Amino acid sequence: MPHTLANLHQARGAKLAVIGQPIAHSLSPRMHQPALDEAGIDARYVALEVDPGHVADAFARMRALGFIGCNVTVPHKFDALEACDEIDDTARDLGAVNTVRFDSDAIRGTNTDGYGFEMAVEESLGLELPGQTVLIVGAGGGAGGAIAAHCARRGVKRLVLANRTEAKAETLVARLRKRHPRVDLAAIGTDDETLLTSLAAGCRLLVNTTSLGLREDDPSPLPPGCLHENHAVFDTIYKPTALMNAATKAGARCANGSLMLLHQGVAAFRYWFPGTDPEAAMRRGLLG
């Protein structure tokens, strides 16, 4: 069971955490704890349920208890950016924070989502981002915005951002267009299924960064007509989802977010413990 801010002091030996809501599904402890043990680091990694609006409180509480750092997941990545004293260029460019380090002089943040995404797409789908055509669903959120920014930085040819609130996708497109004028960018609302299907047809890689799929009864974020056998589909959620089932039925190549979780976690671990090599232990803990 995850801990809360109220009972965090009872988590004996806890020095690292993942914060989010919901958080009980998180596989991060299963991945990070073996890496800590193998490295001989005397610390526990725990899941911490944090209500929206309480990220700064969580940081203060963890820091007071001597935590080394934490990972940040839905829905806190924007609030984490604001709650840090310092952020690096990657977090600044990607517009969100998913990894925090509690140093003696400051709370510092970075973002390893883009790196984790790229490594996972290469390993699981055999695709390289430069020159790619990509549609991202859920580009108004922390992970979606970070992945979109990373794709633009890596020189994708075309990038379509779809979001339930189209204005959020348009805002992100405007920001990315200023920084990456060579990338063909477009924004769309997910309620326009005809246009969404048309734009999806022109993209090779389709990516879900929404939270649809965290619950068993969640629908697919993309209508079935969007999917065909020439697509590669990447779902950042790391368990079976309606999107993954639909992609499989359409004959598309598909992968879930487990390898993204692995690779972003490796980068986060190295952010906390420079010079370490945790990948093998983390891979065993996560993938078996």
Could you tell me how far CA 246 lies from the centroid of its own chain? 22
Catalytic residue among 77, 157, 168, 249: 77
- Helix, strand, coil percentages for the chain (3-state, nearest 5): 40, 20, 40
How far is 197 from 190, CA to CA, in rounded Å?
10
Backbone torsion region of residue 205, taken as left when φ is above 0, otherwise alpha when ψ lies between -120 and 50, otherwise beta: beta
**Residue in 25, 19, 111, 113 with CA at minimum distance from that of residue 60:** 19
DSSP 10: G
Whether 77 sits among the annotated catalytic residues: the reply is yes
How far is 210 from 55, CA to CA, in rounded Å?
21
Strand, helix or coil at 154?
A: coil
Which amino acids are annotated catalytic?
Answer: 77
